[in-house]
Amino acid sequence: MSFSDDTSVRDLGEGRFDAPIRPGWDIAGNANGGYLLALVGRAMATHCRRPDPVTLTAHYLSPGREGPATVRCETIKEGRRFATVSDDMEAGGRGVLRALGAFGSLDDGPGGPERVDASPPELPPVEDCIHSASGEGFAPPFMRHMDLHLHPEDAGFRVGEPSGEARMRGWFRLPGSDRVDPIGLLLGLDAFPPTIFNARLPVGWTPTVELTCHVRARPVPGWLRARFTTRFVTGGFLEEDGELWDEAGRLVAQSRQLALVPRPD
């Protein structure tokens, strides 16, 4: 099955969607947060008849597990260019996530003035990077659904040798002919291992509290360059800032995630 198949939803009418959580998109049985956000994003876009998420914020309420799930959407505002939509996802009789987003078309209208004070991350060629689903170490099931290659300097955590810098860089795309569209960018923004795995701290997991994604442009076909960084690990939380750049050198999506840092056992 492709990513587009595994994020397909069925319109039940009156804002309700059948949105089953498909197998194989999990980490230790819990569905990846970016996959869940892409699933509800597909439902929200279908509901408001606007194809592209422009900004989407999700609060994660409980783990999503493989099986039936329902998404309920409500249009909060219908504007000329954007529709604002809220969403509730439920599975197994409990809430999984609640989201609010603005949807439109990234193809509408001319672009405005630009100023970009950053550049894509410098990466070795794909073949010289470390495939995330191969070899030893961190390789949860959902990573088998994508082509994700880590910068060698950021892959040491997989064999117990973290770099000491809370950073992850690498290449990302969907396998085969499954092109990364704006919904696929939501997955890419939460596909990489947590940055804290390289920070030499006693942390084994970082459950997401909130994830916000900004989609800037529709990527050209090909690989995406990714960079994720964390500057602050305080008070039992961390932030993770993400960037995705396409092969035309354009910033196509950004994210900020707030995650818990559980106390060591």
pLDDT for position 180: 95
In a domain, residue 21? The reply is: yes
Whether the Cβ atoms of residue 252 and residue 245 lie closer than 8 Å to each other:
yes
In a domain, residue 208? The reply is: yes
133 falls in which pLDDT band (50, 70, 90)? confident
User: What range does the domain containing 62 cover?
Assistant: 3-105+128-260
In a domain, residue 37? The reply is: yes
178 falls in which pLDDT band (50, 70, 90)? confident
In a domain, residue 118? The reply is: no
In a domain, residue 77? The reply is: yes
In a domain, residue 40? The reply is: yes
pLDDT for position 136: 60
In a domain, residue 117? The reply is: no
**What is the DSSP code string of 22-75?**
-TT-EETTEEPHHHHHHHHHHHHHHHHT--EEEEEEEEE-S---SB--EEEEEE
132 falls in which pLDDT band (50, 70, 90)? confident
In a domain, residue 173? The reply is: yes
138 falls in which pLDDT band (50, 70, 90)? low
Average the pLDDT over 206-226 and give the result.
96
**Number of domains, the chain:** 1
pLDDT for position 97: 97
Share of the chain above pLDDT 90, in %: 80
CATH number at 180 reads 2.40.160.210
